[in-house]
Amino acid sequence: MKSLLVCFLAIAALARAASAPKTPNIVFIFSDDHAYQAISAYGDARKLLDTPNIDRIAKQGVRFDRCLVTNSICGPARATILTGKYSHLNGFPNNSNSTFDGAQQTFPKLLQKAGYQTAIVGKWHLGSDPTGFDFWQILPGQGVYYNPPMIKMGERVAMPGYVTDIIGDVSLEWLKNRDKTKPFMLMCQHKAPHREWAPPLRHLGFDKDRVYAEPATLFDDYSGRGSAVRDQDMTIAKTFTDRDAKLALPAGISPEQQKTWDAYYEPRNAAYRAANLSGKALVSWRYQRYMHDYLATVKAVDENVGRVLDYLDKEGLAENTIVVYASDQGFYLGEHGWFDKRWIFEESVRTPLLVRWPGVTKPGTATKALVSNLDFGETFLDVAGVPVPADMQGRSFQPLLRGEQPADWRTAFYYQYFEYPAPHRVRPHYGVITDRYKLVHFDGMGEAYWELYDREKDPSEMKSVYGDAAYAATINQLKKELTRLRQELKVPAEIPARFYGNQGAGGEGGKKKKQAKQGDL
């Protein structure tokens, strides 16, 4: 009788274990400067590129249509994701003179403490060595596209090949050799499609010299907006370099690789030189070259996303693994005549976000709920069953993954950009974003002023309506919301000059301000 009871209890324990939810694995695939316009799941009107593997995540999960970033620039975006805090609290406000404090609290450290095996592979771009990871292999600085050196657990290693494929290889190698007794969290972070968007050799000519439809605002004259928009230095017309245009070789390319490179580019470059283009014709040529190259790098990212998804399927891991695809911010693909990011404007501030969690996310769904890279770390902790620290400033969007939008979900979002004047002369600015409006305050060059954009009537953000009396009540309401957010987020009234970069907020020529005051609300 006793043996039967023991047997019954053992069977009951096994049944409970089988029905208990497993701790989910987390795969975070992160690209650099990947515009949502270049993901077919987002349905850009130009139909720039098919991304079947990234689209697999959308088809099997949730597409977020309003994922905004706190500070639209590479390093600060990464620091925000790790810490769940805005730049003024995590200490990494710009790319030019910031170094990430690895001693501070991060979500990988908290997952590691909770029993997760953690790894990061690829672009880090935070100055210090990664902390909170059982394994790390990163690109030094920005990294290069061809034959990139990497740093593996503190040791520099040579890595022949193409950077996107190498990051995919190392990520898969870690997945295969990980401690299989633990849940895992992998951050697979691609360099591509960051400038100068150098394609893999196998994809030179992948689109058969397709002529891409130009964005309607390619020749924007910036009328209807203030001096900040006119004064920037990030246009295809003026800022595009020979290396951007592939009139010069990319860094790191080998003589053997150069043969394939030259065979493709040199005839086309010779035709370009013979044409002696200028004005709008030159801008159009550069736009086409930009799209050919940028999209070829995205194609390689998509292929490597597919490799990771295939591995999870093959190993029976897919059902218990959350897969997230995102980028550090949005990017301009010729809109307003621009490349790069930095602005509070839509193509810059909005990043792609696609999440698949089998059994939780409803396949093929989308949400316009206002989420942010500020929320990523909190969400990863929440789904892992790890308490979210009170000092993190974002919020887990796990309910949204389940198709449930809390009644108190955010309806307004705070944005702040610092780095100025180099590179690109995008002036420091901050503002509040809602589903319809953007109220933004610009500073720099001794000039401060406001702009307001009504995205319902002006989706391309071509005209500020701040001076329009019809919007007076809206402006008053948005300023109150901005004051509330700044207080809630502990934004200092005065920003240290170092936040703006090596030259401070005061402008060019080595002039620096001790403190740069924010505009009055």
Is the domain of 225 the same as that of 195? no
* 243 belongs to a structural domain: yes
Q: Which of 236, 269, 287 is the last residue of a domain?
A: 287
The predicted structure's pLDDT at residue 22: 84
The predicted structure's pLDDT at residue 445: 86
* 5 belongs to a structural domain: no
Question: What is the Cβ-side half-sphere exposure of residue 295, based on CA atoms within 13 angstroms?
Answer: 26
Q: What is the mean pLDDT of residues 201-225?
A: 97
**What is the number of domains present in the chain?**
3
* 162 belongs to a structural domain: yes
The predicted structure's pLDDT at residue 185: 98
* 211 belongs to a structural domain: no
Sheet holding 365-367, edge to edge: 155-157, 150-152, 135-139, 117-123, 184-189, 25-31, 321-327, 353-356, 62-64, 365-367
* 3 belongs to a structural domain: no
Each residue's pLDDT tens digit, 21-41: 589 999 999 999 999 999 999
CA-based nearest residue to 171, from 307, 319, 53: 307
Q: Which of 406, 439, 455 is the last residue of a domain?
A: 406
Strands 67-68, 371-372: parallel, antiparallel or unpaired by DSSP?
parallel
Is the domain of 400 the same as that of 469? no
* 4 belongs to a structural domain: no
pLDDT over 70 (residue 20): no
Q: What CATH number should be reported for the domain holding residue 502?
A: 3.30.1120.10
Is the domain of 83 the same as that of 116? yes
The predicted structure's pLDDT at residue 504: 63
> What's CA 469's distance to the chain center, in Å?
37
Is the domain of 319 the same as that of 235? no
Each residue's pLDDT tens digit, 140-182: 999 999 999 999 999 999 999 999 999 999 999 999 999 999 9
What is the distance between the alpha carbons of residues 338 and 470, in angstroms, rounded to a whole number?
31
Each residue's pLDDT tens digit, 49-92: 999 999 999 999 999 999 999 999 999 999 999 999 999 999 99
- The model scores a pTM over 0.85: yes
pLDDT over 70 (residue 505): no
**Chain-wide mean pLDDT for the chain?**
93
Is the domain of 39 the same as that of 155? yes
Other beta carbons less than 10 A from residue 187's beta carbon: 26
Is the domain of 326 the same as that of 341? yes
Q: What CATH number should be reported for the domain holding residue 309?
A: 3.40.720.10
The predicted structure's pLDDT at residue 506: 52
Is the domain of 379 the same as that of 436? no
pLDDT over 90 (residue 10): no
Can you spell out the DSSP letters for 331-397? --SSGGGB-S--SSSHHHHB--EEEE-TTTSPTTEEE---EEGGGHHHHHHHHTTPPPPTT--S---
The predicted structure's pLDDT at residue 8: 46
Is the domain of 298 the same as that of 275? no
The predicted structure's pLDDT at residue 256: 98
* 448 belongs to a structural domain: yes
Tokens of residue 104, six digits: 């501070």
What is the distance between the alpha carbons of residues 5 and 48, in angstroms, rounded to a whole number?
66
Q: What is the mean pLDDT of residues 339-363?
A: 98
The predicted structure's pLDDT at residue 18: 38
Is the domain of 136 the same as that of 232? no
Q: Which of 383, 406, 429 is the last residue of a domain?
A: 406
pLDDT over 90 (residue 515): no
* 321 belongs to a structural domain: yes
Q: What is the CA radius of gyration of the chain?
A: 24
The predicted structure's pLDDT at residue 3: 54
In this prediction, residue 502 has a pLDDT band, given cuts at 50, 70 and 90, of: confident
In percent, the amount of the chain with pLDDT more than 90 equals 91
Is the domain of 385 the same as that of 508? no
Is the domain of 175 the same as that of 237? no
Task: Please provide the size of the chain in residues.
Answer: 521
User: Containing domain of residue 434, as a range?
Assistant: 414-517
Residue for token pair 């589903």: 435
Each residue's pLDDT tens digit, 268-316: 999 999 999 999 999 999 999 999 999 999 999 999 999 999 999 999 9
CA-based nearest residue to 100, from 71, 129, 74, 123: 129
Is the domain of 232 the same as that of 251? yes
